[in-house]
Amino acid sequence: MELLDNIAKNLEAGEDEKVLELTKAAIQQKLPPQDILDKGLIAGMNVVGERFKNHDIFLPEVLLAAKAMYAGMDELKPLLIEEGIPSIGKVVIGSVQGDLHDIGKNLVGIMLKGAGFEVIDLGSDVSPEKFIDTAEKEEAGVIGMSALLTTTMSVMKQVVELLDGRGLKGKVKIIVGGAPVSADFAKEIGADAYGFDGINAVEKIKGLCGVG
Partner 1 sequence: MLAETLLARLGRGRPLVSDGAIGTMLIDRGLKAGLAPESFNLENTEALEEIARLYFDVGADIVHTNTFGGSSLKLTSHHLGDRVEDINRNAISAVKSVAPEQGIVSMSCGPTGMILKPYGDADPEAVYESFQQQLAIAVDAGADAVTIETMIDLEEAKLAVKAAKSVSGSIPVLATMTFDDTPKGFYTIMGVSIEKAAQGLGAAGADVVGSNCGNGIETMVKIAREFTKVTDLPLLIQANAGLPELRDGTAVYPETPEFMAEKAEELLEMGVAIIGGCCGTTPQHMRVLRQMVDSRH
Q: Which residues bind partner 1 (CB under 8 A)?
A: 55-61, 63-64, 96-98, 100, 103, 125, 149-155, 179-180, 182, 184-185, 188
Select 153 or 208, whichever has its Cβ closest to partner 1: 153
Select 60 or 84, whichever has its Cβ closest to partner 1: 60
User: For residues 177 and 148, what is the distance between their CA atoms, to the nearest angstrom?
Assistant: 9
Select 78 or 180, whichever has its Cβ closest to partner 1: 180
Minimum distance from residue 205 beta carbon to partner 1 (Å)? 21
Q: If DSSP codes are grouped into helix, strand and coil, which group holds residue 91?
A: strand
Q: Which stretches within 141-197 are classed as H helix?
A: 154-165, 183-189
Minimum distance from residue 41 beta carbon to partner 1 (Å)? 19
Minimum distance from residue 10 beta carbon to partner 1 (Å)? 15
Which distant-in-sequence residues (6+ apart) come within 8 Å of 205 by Cβ? 89, 91, 112, 117, 142, 144, 175, 193, 195
Minimum distance from residue 138 beta carbon to partner 1 (Å)? 23
Minimum distance from residue 169 beta carbon to partner 1 (Å)? 20
Q: If DSSP codes are grouped into helix, strand and coil, which group holds residue 17?
A: helix
Select 8 or 153, whichever has its Cβ closest to partner 1: 153
Beta sheet of 142-146, edge-to-edge order: 118-121, 90-95, 142-146, 173-177, 193-194
Select 96 or 143, whichever has its Cβ closest to partner 1: 96
Q: Give the strand pairing for 142-146 and 90-95.
A: parallel
Select 23 or 152, whichever has its Cβ closest to partner 1: 152
The candidate with the shortest Cα–Cα distance to 91, out of 112, 73, 76, 71, is 112
Q: Are 88 and 141 in contact (CB under 8 A)?
A: no
Minimum distance from residue 16 beta carbon to partner 1 (Å)? 9
Amino acid symbol at 119: V
Residue 79 is given by DSSP the state H
